[in-house]
Amino acid sequence: MANLSKGVVHTVFFWLKEKDNEAHQQALHEGLLELSKIDLIKNAYIGRPANTNRPVIDSSYSFSLTFVFENAADQDAYQVHPDHYVFIDKCSALWEKVLVYDAEG
């Protein structure tokens, strides 16, 4: 199992209010890039729906983030990190829905 890593995987999907608004896309993307700099995050991925298409795939969201934390305490500390609040203040008006999955392994 050379590939398998441990940690808390925090995955968030964002649906923009105006999904085709390029300025809103760019603003959220820039916000996510800033957010990913928080040093509690061990590995960060920011994405948009890939070009895959099967009935079980949800590709309706605008952006996603996958942040891996060493442990639950780091994820908890991230939630209340000042830069996390800056992101929410700056960007939350852009989205109509977020969906979060926290998985621990």
Please say which residue, 18 or 60, places its beta carbon nearer to a copy of itself: 60
Tell me which residues in 67-86 interact with a copy of itself (CB under 8 A): 68, 72, 75
Residues 6 or more apart in contact with residue 43 via CB below 8 angstroms = 66, 67, 68
Selected range binding a copy of itself among 17-25, 38-46, 86-94, rule: CB under 8 A: 38-46
Specify the amino acid at residue 96: E
Candidates 64, 77, 83, 84; binder of a copy of itself (CB under 8 A) is 64
Selected range binding a copy of itself among 1-9, 16-24, 83-91, rule: CB under 8 A: 1-9
Selected range binding a copy of itself among 18-26, 66-74, 82-90, rule: CB under 8 A: 66-74
Type and span of the H or E element at 21? none
C-alpha span between 95 and 17 (Å, rounded): 5
| Dihedral angle of Cα 68, 74, 80, 84, to the nearest 10 degrees | -30
